[in-house]
Each structure stands twice: as structure tokens, then as C-alpha cells.
Amino acid sequence: MSGIIGNNTGRGTGLIKAAGGGGKVGQYLYTVSTANDQASSTLDTWIDVTNLNVAITPSATNSILIVEYQLCQAIGDKSYWGYGRVQRDIGGAGYGDWNHNVGDNTGATSTEEVSGGTSNDPYSDKHCNQTGAKLKDSTHNTTSEVTYKVQFYLATGYNKINRSYNTANNDECMRTLSWISVAEILA
């Protein structure tokens, strides 16, 4: 999809020009997180990224919500993997998956949209991996508030959000940001 999506001041309107016509953007909302103090060594558990969520109240039950996010995280020293996903809550009923927002769960595999990890580079503790996805939610079927939140998962290692794993204060180590946005495409 390409075209103008209005402005990015938190709420905008504009026109999407897509193959076959397209529709108007009714709303565009986003949240940016620059906080770099969240860390975890908890394994095999989905953990909410602190304050990385966005809420929208659709104007129609048949509109399409396009959710995009980028999660920046450093995982351990080397050869470790971390995963990211978005969960949805409609009207305060509780968070969960929705159709097409995660991969196929075959056997003992986990379901997530994206994965990222470090390399065998001896300096990998100074890098920050970026994972993200663009998701289409056409199953919300509501005009109640819909909230999306970003979570991460560790299979092994340790995790730091929005920063390199190494905490040294020098130009080899980085600080970065994560974000989530949602656009309502009107029918």
C-alpha cells in the first residue's frame, strides 16, 4: 500500500491510494517508547513491553484496522533469540490472538509474528535487534475501544528493550526506540 496517510501527529486523516481503489483513513494513532530500563531474564513467557500499546475506537464495525509495530531488543551475549507479537483486547474483555496475527502453531512450535536474535559476532552485546510486522485486523467487528499491546518472549538468554545489552556508556552501545501504530481504513 502506498500513498498519503495524513499526518503523524497522533491522529490524522488522508487518502490511501491502493490497487483497486482504496479507502479513506478515518484515524491514525501511534505510541512511541524510548524507555530503556525494561530488562528480563524470564524464559518461556510472553511479557508486555511497558507502555507499548495503542487504543482506537473504530467508527464502523466493518472497517479494517492496520496495526504496525517495531520492537527493538537486545538478547543475551550471542546466539540467543527473542520473539515479538501483538495482542488485542476489545472493550476490556481481555487480551488474546486474532485471526492471522500469528504464524501456524504446528506441534510444539510457538506462535508469533516476528523473531530476531543476535549473531555469533563477539560484539553482538552492543547491537539491538529490530523486529516488527504489519498486521490486518478485519475481525474486530465492533465500535468499542480496541487496544493492541506489544509483547516479547525469550527462549534463552536475557533481554533489554530499546538498548544494546551491553550497558557501557560509549559510542559502541546504542539506545533506540520501539513503536506501535494503528490506522482505521473505512469501508
Q: What is the pLDDT of residue 48?
A: 93
Give ∠ CA 27-28-31 in degrees, rounded to 5.
140
In this structure, which amino acid lies at residue 63? Answer: S
Q: What is the pLDDT of residue 105?
A: 55
Binned average pLDDT, 10 residues per bin, the chain of 187 residues: 36 45 84 84 84 96 93 66 84 83 54 46 52 86 96 75 66 74 94
| Nearest Cα residue to 39 out of 149, 148, 166 | 166
Q: What is the pLDDT of residue 55?
A: 98
Q: What is the pLDDT of residue 166?
A: 61
Phi/psi for 48 (5° steps) reads: -65, 135
Query: In whole angstroms, what is the distance from residue 122 CA to residue 97 CA?
Result: 36
Q: What is the pLDDT of residue 60?
A: 94
- Cell 520492537 sits at which residue? 71
Q: What is the pLDDT of residue 4?
A: 34
Query: In whole angstroms, what is the distance from residue 20 CA to residue 18 CA?
Result: 6
Q: With contact defined as beta carbons under 8 Å apart, do 163 and 174 qualify?
A: yes
| Nearest Cα residue to 112 out of 153, 55, 70 | 153
- Cell 553482538 sits at which residue? 124
Fold exhibited by the domain 2-185: Jelly Rolls (2.60.120)
- Residue 178, exposed/middle/buried by CB under 10 A (0-12, 13-18, 19+)? buried
- Cell 524507555 sits at which residue? 35
Q: What is the pLDDT of residue 122?
A: 42
- Output the pTM of the full model: 0.74
The domain ranges of the chain are 2-185
